[in-house]
Amino acid sequence: MKYIVDSSVAVKWALAEIDTDRALRIRDEYRAGTIELHAPDVFPIEFVHALTRAERQRRLTSDEGAEFVADMLATLPRLHASLPLLPRAYELSSQMRIGVYDCLYVALAEREQCELLTADQRLVNLFGGFPVVALATL
């Protein structure tokens, strides 16, 4: 099975949140080679941004954050260049009235003909099915 994974799922690899158990299972399946994970090249930036926000909220220490960054880099999904995805991401962003970062993931899922796995319920609600699926459903 092949998925596009967004940073909302990956953040659950580091922070205990709702559906962390599901996110960790996905990560472990990826590490075991039973599934493929792909993402636009903005993925690690969004992940680290979320960790720095969590640090400022005192949900983790800077040392823990550094460990999570190293772990994410060791488990990095296959990254795809964002520039070729921008025209479609722009189109989706304009149509759906959502951020272009989210639309990069959707555009990649369309191009790769697989599902986007997200923990962002708003994104799931906007697209209402393929190519976006909720982590909570796995």
Percent of the chain with pLDDT over 70: 100
Q: Which residues in 12-32 are b (16+ Cβ under 10 Å) and which e?
A: bbbbeeebbebbeebbebbee
pTM: 0.93
Number of alpha carbons in the 13 Å side-chain half-sphere of residue 40: 24
Tens digit of each residue's pLDDT (9 = 90 or more) over 27-82: 999 999 999 999 999 999 999 999 999 999 999 999 999 999 999 999 999 999 99
Number of domains observed in the structure of the chain: 1
Domain that holds residue 58: 2-137
pLDDT at 102 over 90: yes
Domain of 100, CATH number, reads: 3.40.50.1010
Q: How much is the pLDDT for 133? A: 85
pLDDT at 128 over 90: no
Q: How much is the pLDDT for 137? A: 82
Q: How much is the pLDDT for 81? A: 98
**Residue 72 near residue 30, CB atoms below 8 Å:** no
Between 24-38, 83-97, 122-136, the lowest mean confidence (pLDDT) is in 122-136
Q: What does pLDDT average to over the chain?
A: 94
